[in-house]
Structure 1
Amino acid sequence: MSASRGVTHATSVYERIRADILGGRLLPGRRLAIKAMMESYEIGQTPLREALNRLAADGLVSAEDQRGFTVPGISVDELMELTRTRCWLEERALRESMAAATPAWEEAVLLAGHRLSRTPRGPDDPNWEARHRDFHRTLVGHCGSRWLIGFCDQLTDRHQRYRKLAAIRAFPMRDVEAEHRAIQDAVLARDADGAVALLTAHYTATARIILEDESIFPKRD
């Protein structure tokens, strides 16, 4: 196998495993046995290990000496910290994006919101997920800092694992389209305080639904 082909295979399996982790198909705490993964993803050992090491660097896989790889577990404390930190960072990114607003960026926000609203939403719909991610990233993507955008992306990934676990329960409970539309309207009205408050409430509501889901966090007597 050529070096370039090996890199291509490692990249492909990285993307597939990443999608399965973020989509909740590889559950928290699951051991990622190399032999079973090679069979499941139809990939050789070397590109598989490269992909798993890359996912470990991204924080989406845990690598333990002598014990191999596992999908990281979940906890109430981590979810609360992720939500709080995501709100902090995206507040700064959104304010900076709005302060530097241009007609092109505002058109991009409007287009991302329109595409999201026109995409049918289901509890496990990859098209809606892609539009949803694009909408939120567009909101903060004009902040002028690649580092800040990168940190926001990382937190989005970690938060998505929790959100997907609660997707079926959360799906009928919220008018998410109205929440997105309200955020978009505040952004386009140049109401930074209002937009930040709505975005924070949006993420906080998601966290609350996840925390209340006893299939994820069983109640203790």
Structure 2
Amino acid sequence: MTYGAANLNDDAAGPKSTLATTVYQQLRDDLLGGVLEAESKLRVEWVVSKYGAGASPVREALNRLASEGLLGRHDQRGFFIMPVSASELEELTRTRCWLEERALRESITHRTAEWEEQLVLALHRLGRASRLAPQNLFSLNPDWERLHRIFHRVLISACRSQWLVGFCDQLSDHAYRYRQMANDGEGVQRDDFGEHRLIAECALDGNADGAVEALLNHYRLTAAMCMKRFEQDEETKEIAGKRARR
């Protein structure tokens, strides 16, 4: 197994060998993108109709998504989309910080020239992309999202543990879901590229403490912004409820 380098192409790309895999990827994209409402039921018949597949590949896809924590399952009552909450986001962020601190420290310890080159390239590409979608300045640019994920993957790619990288990827997916549901692009005022540049510069200098501090601050700031949106949404619902009772 080779360590120290990461694939700078879209890591979701590749042949979709089975119908179940195709349904899985389409449904997964909709779940992570916040297209489907949290806590709603997912009936097999509805998924079959929406995604144009048979019941067998749909069940296979649903079971796979349940194993990833994106779906829940009621005994004898089918699947439902996992809920989101402030407490869940707090736990997710805390766990992600624990794992990625270890992954980043190991990656810096075992860094190679190839890893350094890929990190510089990933940062450069991220800096050239617009964070917000050109057609909608209140939503995130999908191209930026792809490059953003690549940057964070490259950061930890030299850690010499594919298990650890896999766990970090899974937490990254769940964090992305929260950012999408909180509409992370709306009203954002932050030096996002400056945050990524600081992380990369510390990592390239071999300053593990500085890189970890910058990375964790980056994640915590994003989580705090999502939390703020949750609070605003709750206030809006409370006001609407009071008006409805008048």
Tell me the CA shift for residue 175 of structure 1: 2.1
Alignment of 1:139-178 (within 5 A): 139-168=155-184, 170=186, 172-178=188-194
- Tell me what 1:29 maps to: 39
1:49 aligns with 2:92: no
| 8 Å Cα contact 1:170/1:209 also seen in 2 | no
| 8 Å Cα contact 2:126/2:144 also seen in 1 | yes
1:125 aligns with 2:135: no
| 8 Å Cα contact 1:210/1:216 also seen in 2 | no
Q: Distance in 2 between matches of 1:145 and 1:216?
A: 40
| 8 Å Cα contact 2:43/2:78 also seen in 1 | yes
Alignment of 1:2-21 (within 5 A): 8-21=18-31
Q: Distance in 1 between matches of 2:110 and 2:176?
A: 28
CA RMSD of aligned residues (A): 1.9
- In structure 2, the gaps of 5 or more residues are 1-15, 133-138, 240-246
Q: Distance in 2 between matches of 1:32 and 1:140?
A: 35
Count the aligned residue pairs: 216
The DSSP-based 3-state class of the residue aligned with 1:63 is strand
Q: Distance in 1 between matches of 2:44 and 2:83?
A: 19
- In structure 1, the gaps of 5 or more residues are 1-5
The DSSP-based 3-state class of the residue aligned with 1:212 is helix
| 8 Å Cα contact 2:156/2:165 also seen in 1 | yes
The DSSP-based 3-state class of the residue aligned with 2:201 is helix
Between 176-185 and 194-203, the greater mean CA deviation after superposition = 176-185
TM-score by length of 1: 0.91
Q: Distance in 1 between matches of 2:185 and 2:158?
A: 33
Residue type at the aligned position of 2:69: G
Which of residues 214, 218, 234 in structure 2 aligns to 1:218?
234
- Tell me what 2:199 maps to: 183
Closer, same or farther: CA 192–170 of 1 in aligned 2, 3 Å: farther
Residue type at the aligned position of 2:58: L
Between 27-36 and 211-220, the greater mean CA deviation after superposition = 211-220
> Percent sequence identity over matched residues?
47
- Tell me what 2:11 maps to: none
- Tell me what 1:70 maps to: 80
The DSSP-based 3-state class of the residue aligned with 2:18 is helix
Q: Distance in 1 between matches of 2:74 and 2:125?
A: 42
| 8 Å Cα contact 1:87/1:203 also seen in 2 | yes
